[in-house]
Amino acid sequence: MLKKRIITLVEGGVIVKEVGDFVCDVIDFLEEYYPKADVTGAEMFTTHLAMATQRVKDGEALEGLDSETWAGITTSGAYEEALKVYEELFSETIVTYPEGEKRFLIVHLCNIIDNQQGEESKC
């Protein structure tokens, strides 16, 4: 289901095939390590990832979270794991994400991790 959404974005010309292939690889990772992830959270993350990656490839920027909101994220129970997952997933990518995109991606990962653990999201 997640990959179908990404394929639709590629077929519609919203993202390029290289971005779609990359996001599908990330989906494989999520399905392996977070099999009980909330579908909605996973959809939000993978869609944001696809669009963020395309934005970076196109030279566009997204403003990040305000410092107060980000400070709250960094104290959540899922933050450390989300940061490790981010570093593992994106150590070798087709783009380098600016700090604003990185923070949004980490927020989505926090939500997936919180949900996987059966907790209410703190992110």
Helix%, strand%, coil% for the chain, nearest 5: 70, 0, 30
Report residue 121 CA to chain centroid gap. 15
Burial class (CB in 10 A: 0-12, 13-18, 19+), 83: middle
- What pLDDT is stored for residue 18 in this prediction? 98
Percent of the chain with pLDDT over 90: 78
pLDDT in tens, 22-47: 999 999 999 999 988 888 999 999 99
Write down the pLDDT at residue 117.
65
Distance CA 117, CA 70 (A): 22
Mean pLDDT of the chain: 91
Question: CB neighbours of 22 closer than 8 A, spacing ≥ 6?
Answer: 53, 93, 94
Predicted TM-score of the model (pTM): 0.89
